[in-house]
Chains A and B, each alone.
Chain A
């Protein structure tokens, strides 16, 4: 019996996971979403930048594979920036994320009636990751001479006064791997010492806690949970708030299977020991 449970068909596990994702989408229920201090820090920084009409640099360092986790965070942060009056300049270190970033800018700027070139600009992707970050930190317009429409950054109202990274009030990277938060810290933030925040996939979040403690990273949105917490702070429940429900249930199912597997394992070991004792 124990042996059978031990070697349960993996398709059964797949069915449980599928149901744990599907059912919460169909059944409506509320979860108590409470923002943690790292999410609040990002919120406060953007709020302060917005109050003085400053500029935020958003680096879209992800693509479609992590869209489900990072797009809600990007939309929430961008919405908050526009709500609070901050200007936003977007760039990207992941070539496949360019179209995604453009879509996000188009959608959110339309919602808040913000003008391209004046309130926001998207400057596109450049190769080099760390080197690109380092280069734009010392020579912004030289590294990014045009926006994605081909208009010179020296002519755009939003970017014409940006010479170095120090002319930007807050930098935030939405990161899904290499060419993201860690590279920003190693190649740029640690040298030029500016306010830097991040949003990342849940699996990456534990990697960044040393940077949070050292102050190199001034706040962090970890995975879909972080995005949902941000949506709660800006009072704009959206994709992350909806998505966190199936994720919560899927986590519960996963934990159940891990614990169940261990009970079977320990039970099996106990039975084997008893058998050996009887012999």
Chain B
């Protein structure tokens, strides 16, 4: 039991982890072919994971509908949307799913006239909430907050062409802020993230970090 639950996953993580690292540094045909095969295998694994995600999503919404939780109607909409799209996708205008997707079929219509406006609307609403949130929370409560506020206003203004109409210096200031202070900070953050990713990867490869195996140990 210990072998299946502990030794095997740790060994897989150790071996594949090292293959992944060394594959980048060994310019030999065997190493390159091995890396290529593993990559293709992993792409297939990713595709399988999509089905797990789908199962998890439907399961979660099904339990909400069954228990009649608050907002269970939205969960029902998830089911309706999912099965309507699935049906027309599989039906494929009478050509069925084993043939290439028909151009300008019902699924395309649903995509263009139902899915696209819904998703675009969801994203557009953000503009309203950002405006309201910015008004309420973007306050110069300290010198640091004041500097942040000033930089944000200058960038927000400088990136749109109307600023150039008022004064040609605004776009230049915005570009300078993005190219120097912003870039320096972003680079520092990226270094931090990269070092964190390396240390976490090494912990997984050497079996120190085991939370991905579950079980709470």
Contacts and interface: CB of A to CB of B under 8 A. Distances in A.
A33 B40 contact: no
Interface string B17-50: 0000000100000001001100110110011011
Interface in A107-146: 126-129, 131-132, 134-135, 138-139, 142-143
Nearest to B138: A258
Contact of A127 (B46, B134, B179): B46
Contacts, number: 163
Given A13-B131, A17-B128, A138-B36, A254 B120 contact: no
B211 interface: no
A253 B162 CA distance: 12
Interface of B: 24, 32, 35-36, 39-40, 42-43, 46-47, 49-50, 100-101, 103, 108, 111-112, 115-116, 119-120, 122-124, 127-128, 130-132, 134-136, 138-141, 149, 152-153, 155-157, 159-165, 171, 175, 178-179, 182-183, 186-187, 190
Contact of B178 (A135, A209, A248): A209
A36 B165 contact: no
B46 A209 contact: no
A234 interface: no
Interface in A238-252: 244, 247-252
A244 B120 contact: no
A40 interface: no
Contacts of A63: 119
Nearest to B117: A64
A31 B135 contact: no
Contact of A34 (B50, B161, B182): B161
Contacts of B135: 8, 10, 13, 257-258, 260-261
Contacts of A265: 139-141
Interface residues of A, number: 70
Contact of B156 (A21, A228, A254): A254
Contact of B100 (A33, A135, A149, A228): A149
B160 A247 contact: yes
Interface of A: 8, 10, 13-14, 16-18, 21, 31-34, 36, 63-68, 96, 99-100, 102-103, 126-129, 131-132, 134-135, 138-139, 142-143, 148-150, 191, 202, 205-207, 209-210, 212-213, 222-223, 225, 228, 244, 247-255, 257-262, 265-266
Contacts of A17: 127-128, 131
B92 to A, nearest CB: 13
Contacts of A150: 100
Nearest to A24: B162
A10 B140 CA distance: 20
B43 A191 contact: no
25 contacts: A13-B131, A14-B131, A14-B132, A31-B161, A31-B164, A34-B164, A63-B119, A64-B120, A67-B119, A67-B120, A96-B119, A127-B46, A128-B42, A131-B43, A135-B43, A138-B32, A138-B36, A148-B101, A213-B179, A244-B160, A248-B160, A251-B159, A255-B157, A262-B139, A262-B140
A112 B190 CA distance: 41
A191 B139 CA distance: 44
Which A-B residue pairs are the 5 nearest by beta carbons?
Answer: A248-B162, A209-B183, A135-B39, A128-B43, A64-B119
A148 to B, nearest CB: 8
B162 A210 contact: no
A210 B46 contact: no
B179 A10 contact: no
A139 B41 CA distance: 14
Max chain A Cβ within 10 angstroms of own Cβ: one of B49, B50, B122, B153: B153
Given A206-B186, A225-B161, A135 B40 contact: yes
B5 to A, nearest CB: 27
Contacts of B112: 99, 103
Contacts of B183: 209-210, 212-213
B172 to A, nearest CB: 10
Contact of B153 (A66, A100, A128, A255): A255
B138 A261 contact: yes
A163 B42 CA distance: 20
A143 B160 contact: no
Nearest to B128: A14
A129 B39 CA distance: 11
Given A13-B132, A266-B140, A132 B161 contact: no
Contacts of B159: 202, 222-223, 225, 251
B123 A132 contact: no
B149 A258 contact: yes
